[in-house]
Amino acid sequence: MRSIFKSLLVFGLVSLSLARPQDNILQGRAGHDDGDDHDSNDDSHTSTSSAAASTATGSVTSANTALVGMQGDSVCTGLMCIGGFVNGTSVTYTLQSQSSSSVGWMAMGFGSQMANTPMVIMWPNSDGKITLSQRKSTGEFMPTVDSSPPRTATAQAALSTASGSNPKLVFTIPQDSTVGKSIIWAYGNTNPGSDAVDATLVQHLNSGPTSLNLANTLAASDRDPTDPAVSTLAGGTTSDSGSGSGSSGSVVIPLLNYQKMLIAHGVLCTIGFLLLLPAGALLARYLRSFSNAWFKGHWIIKLLSVCHHLYFSRGVNSF
Ligand SMILES: *[C@@H]1O[C@H](CO)[C@@H](O)[C@H](O)[C@H]1NC(C)=O
């Protein structure tokens, strides 16, 4: 009996762990994100603490003050930063590693959820070339190549740096005023090992929704959107170690609706398996000697737990 309890508990925990925030957005199910819960109390935007800015004045490296006053924004998560600025009729986006994990590929998408969001996925290759792959997915599978994306992105190899502590991959794309500021990001630490745009992607390390407000006017203290993980436009570093910094550390991705459903499923399965199934067995064990009704009770509880399981499985699968 004890070992059965143990394995049921393990089953419940496995169900729960399936729904962790790190769950696979690029190859997993579609998230029906309502777009309300991804505001970035977890991501750090352009603001840099005054402490960080002032301590960095001695190590000015690459002041990019030419961008001050232009429209742009940057956002950082634990694994990567995304910077974007408007240059004439196009937008230059920089995907830059926070160097907490090596770069396999980096991606961003223009939308608030995985399903049907146009994505730009980039990775460096061993020959120094950079692959840019525009993809889309219905949400169920790995995103596949989109042969006619709404906007064509162009890799900017000269602006990209595939090596060093904060590799960055840059692309330009025509500006689209109808596109909202919601974006999704994904970061993989396994290189696809091929420069083909349809190369198979190994599951990402982490991903999530965030936002980038290109209507923002860049100030000198903002992160440099061409070097968002490393420096500000004034040339200071964006080191988050300064006291009072509100910048990124670890990041918790808000759960998408389907992930919440998975958690509910895990909890309900645990309740179902831990209570209903053993109750059926115990009823059979202890009531058997007292009453002929035991079999009926046992049968009803078993049936209830099976129905319960099927019902909630369906609820999740319909997502
Ligand atoms: C803006 O775009 C032009 C041409 O497309 C390019 O030459 C220039 O370097 C860009 N400016 C910046 C700051 O990247």
Beta bridge partners of 135: 119, 145
Ligand 1, from 87, 93, 171, 224: best to mutate by most atoms within 8 Å of Cβ?
87
Among 213, 237, 265, residue at a domain's last position: 213
Residue nearest to atom 10 of ligand 1 (CA): 87
Domain co-membership, 68 together with 189: yes
Q: Domain limits at 63?
A: 35-213
Count of structural domains, the chain? 2
CA–centroid distance, 142 to ligand 1, in Å, is 33
CA–centroid distance, 172 to ligand 1, in Å, is 10
Helices (H), 129-276: 257-271
By percentage, how much of the chain surpasses pLDDT 90?
Answer: 41
Return the number of other C-beta atoms located less than 10 Å from residue 9's C-beta: 13
Task: Note whether residue 72 is domain-resident.
Answer: yes
Task: Note whether residue 49 is domain-resident.
Answer: yes
**Placement of tokens 């007292």 in the chain:** 290
Q: What is the per-residue pLDDT for 244?
A: 30
117-to-100, 124, 139, 151, 260 alpha-carbon distances in Å: 27, 23, 9, 12, 21
Domain co-membership, 62 together with 153: yes
Task: Note whether residue 231 is domain-resident.
Answer: no
Closest CA to 211 of 138, 109, 71, 101: 109
Domain co-membership, 205 together with 293: no
Q: Could you write out the DSSP letters of every residue in 147-160?
A: SS-SS--EE-GGG-
Task: Note whether residue 235 is domain-resident.
Answer: no
Domain co-membership, 298 together with 170: no
9/138 Cα distance (integer angstroms)? 34
Residues near 93 by Cβ (< 8 Å), separated by ≥ 6? 82, 83, 84, 108, 120, 170, 171, 172, 173
Among 213, 247, 270, residue at a domain's last position: 213
Domain co-membership, 94 together with 185: yes
What's 50's domain CATH number? 2.60.40.1210
Q: What is the per-residue pLDDT for 204?
A: 81
Domain co-membership, 141 together with 47: yes
Residue nearest to atom 11 of ligand 1 (CA): 87
Closest CA to 80 of 192, 191, 227: 227
Q: Are 13 and 7 in contact (CB under 8 A)?
A: no
State both tokens at 223. 């992160």
CA angle 83–89–94, rounded 5-degree value: 15
Domain co-membership, 145 together with 199: yes
Task: Note whether residue 43 is domain-resident.
Answer: yes
Residue nearest to atom 14 of ligand 1 (CA): 87
Among 178, 213, 248, residue at a domain's last position: 213
Task: Note whether residue 234 is domain-resident.
Answer: no
Helix (H, G, I), strand (E, B) or coil at 252: coil
The verdict on the CB of residue 92 being under 6 Å from ligand 1 is yes
Task: Note whether residue 96 is domain-resident.
Answer: yes
Q: What is the per-residue pLDDT for 222?
A: 94
Domain co-membership, 151 together with 108: yes
Does the predicted TM-score (pTM) go above 0.85?
no
Domain co-membership, 200 together with 60: yes
Domain co-membership, 151 together with 13: no
Domain co-membership, 188 together with 311: no
Domain co-membership, 102 together with 149: yes
What is the sign, positive or negative, of the torsion defined by CA atoms of 282, 285, 287, 291? positive
The verdict on the CB of residue 87 being under 6 Å from ligand 1 is yes
Task: Note whether residue 237 is domain-resident.
Answer: no
43/24 Cα distance (integer angstroms)? 19
Q: What is the per-residue pLDDT for 100?
A: 79
Question: In which residue ranges of the chain is pLDDT below 50?
Answer: 8-41, 47-60, 241-258, 307, 313-319
Q: What is the per-residue pLDDT for 297?
A: 61
287/280 Cα distance (integer angstroms)? 10
Question: Any idea how long the chain is?
Answer: 319
Q: What is the per-residue pLDDT for 241?
A: 37
Helices (H), the chain: 2-18, 50-55, 257-271, 277-287, 294-317
- Chain center to CA of 52: 27
